[in-house]
Structure 1
Amino acid sequence: MRIVVGSKNPAKINAVKNACEHIRVELIGLDVPSGVSEQPFSDQETLEGAINRAKNAKEMAQVEIGIGLEGGVYEQGNQLYICNWGALCWDGGIVTAGGTRFALPEEIAVKLREGRELGPIMDEYSQERGIRYLKGAVGVFTSGWVNREEMFEHIVKTLIGQYMFRTRK
């Protein structure tokens, strides 16, 4: 089975690789447009980005399965939360799944509300480079108990499981 991930981000590619360790797959990472803001700012926009990435990846690579993973933020009351979504697209349909959610510290939320993107904010905050490619904000704010790859891996397992359920013979 050939799967394309709609991103070249190592955290996303490794999440799919790890989730598929028990099945035989050929895995490709491909930069594709999400069709949403660089910093998705709602559950709906984040989900749309994942769906668009899955569809665009499948179409561009001409493979059996396209997977899109998207991280974003959303407002709940007066608090800004992290959200993340995934989508898996095949000729027979599409399935989606969401993952870990947690409240961001207000000092980070303020910068996001000003229109900045989480990745660069987290690089400044942690005084590290490329946070989005490694541990992610989730890794920083959980003291390393969960990283971005693990967060997305759970979503991918949920997507693959739904796909297998729907396509079983």
Structure 2
Amino acid sequence: MHVVVGSENPVKREATTRALERFGPVVRTVSVDSGVDEQPRSVAETITGAENRARRALEACEADYGVGLEGGAARFENAPGLFLIMWAAVTDGDRLERASGPSIRLPDPVTERIAAGEELGPVMDDVLGTDGIAEGEGAVGALTGGVVDRSDALASAVTCAFGPFRADQYRDS
């Protein structure tokens, strides 16, 4: 199985490889434009970014599947605060499937800076005194005390977005 990920971020490649490892994937990456803001600020914008990355990756490279991963920040009805969210999209060129990864409430000082227009990665780097957190444990790793890192979280999203291509229950959907 040949898979192309619509980002050159090594964490996104690792997450996709981990999610699909039982199928022995050959995973490549390609830089594509998500078509959304650098810091998506809604579920809809985050999903659109993942979809665009999946489609554009498959258009750019010969592969069986294109994978798009996008992180964002969003508010949910009945849940106070701003949440870090992650979405994946997988396409075979005909079908496009989507799934979310885990979400976690962002600390108030981080929320204030995101609401003021800053991007999560640089904000987290500033708060933590790190450089390049988005290509390592990610905000989710820092905010769970290392229990779940960004690769784990994104792998969950990829697994669930890929599921409908494998599960019989979706054959006629």
- CA distance, structure 1, for counterparts of residue 24 and residue 156 of structure 2: 18
Q: Structure 1: which 5+ runs fail to align?
A: none
3-state SS of 2:87 partner: strand
Question: Is 1:32 equivalent to 2:51 in the alignment?
Answer: no
Taking structure 2 as the reference length, the TM-score comes to 0.93
Structure 2 contact 55–93 (Cα < 8 Å) conserved = no
Question: Is 1:134 equivalent to 2:136 in the alignment?
Answer: yes
Match of 1:101 in 2: 103
Match of 1:69 in 2: 69
- CA distance, structure 1, for counterparts of residue 24 and residue 148 of structure 2: 26
3-state SS of 2:21 partner: coil
Q: Partner letter of residue 146 of structure 1? A: V
Deviation at 1:4? Answer: 0.2
Match of 1:6 in 2: 6
- CA distance, structure 2, for counterparts of residue 92 and residue 37 of structure 1: 26
Q: Structure 2: which 5+ runs fail to align?
A: none
TM-align CA RMSD: 1.4
Match of 1:18 in 2: 18
3-state SS of 2:166 partner: helix
Match of 2:59 in 1: 59
Deviation at 1:15? Answer: 0.5
Taking structure 1 as the reference length, the TM-score comes to 0.95
- CA distance, structure 2, for counterparts of residue 151 and residue 162 of structure 1: 19
- CA distance, structure 2, for counterparts of residue 167 and residue 20 of structure 1: 20
